Amino acid sequence: MSEMEDASSSGRNLITESPNKDKTNRIVRSGKLPRVSIHKIVCSRIPGRSSDMKANVTKIVKIYNKKSYKGQKDKYYTPVQHKKEPQSTSTFQIKLYRNKSEGTCQFLLQYGIKESTRHFNSICFYFNVSGIFAITKGISAWRVIQPYVDSNFPEKIATRLLNEEGRKAFDEKHVIGNTRTTNSKVKNSKPTDPFATATICTSYEAYLKDDASILNLECFNI
């Protein structure tokens, strides 16, 4: 959900990097952290789902491992140990998975050099009795949860948190014409044009609503 990673309001940035204050008391980016994708899982799509959300998480990964790697256990997504999970059913619990995959560097291959590279794909499941969310990082981690993802989730979150004035910056891909992509920053907020069928908005930045609930998080109260 890259469109949510750079949203900002009243000088406060919704970012995936450690916040810090500058001389004007604005929170600015500090400490490079990787961008991630956030997903909501539709539990009704999980085959043989149960009321135990932790079991459903395990089932999602098990189904993908069996279908995609067919016994190649060295490529399986496996659990990663972390701090003790909270016991309260109202608190989100966490379950982490990752896998390692190797491939050939296509750039070097053009010059006759067969150089193998290793990639790490990670998934962090957040879940409680009400539902499951997932954060993915890596080239193919999103494939694990693809059959169960709520495709409307990014729009729902954007509608809930972002100011209606429109975009402050955005990236677009062009379906037709000689231009492939454009990166724009505007002086005044620009609304999204639903009739711009020749372009696809791939990411954008916008102000947060002044009363957005996310601003109650500790990281914004510096």
Mean pLDDT over 83-107 rounds to 70
Q: Band the pLDDT of 155: cuts 50, 70, 90.
A: confident
**Total-model pTM:** 0.67
How do residues 98-137 score in pLDDT, each as one tens digit? 887 766 665 556 666 666 666 778 999 999 999 999 999 8
The Cα 168–Cα 220 span in angstroms is 21
Longest dimension (CA), the chain: 57
Average pLDDT of every residue of the chain = 76
Q: pLDDT value at position 42?
A: 96
Asked whether the beta carbons of 167 and 204 are under 8 A apart, the reply is yes
Q: pLDDT value at position 22?
A: 45
Cβ within 8 Å of residue 194, ≥6 positions away: none
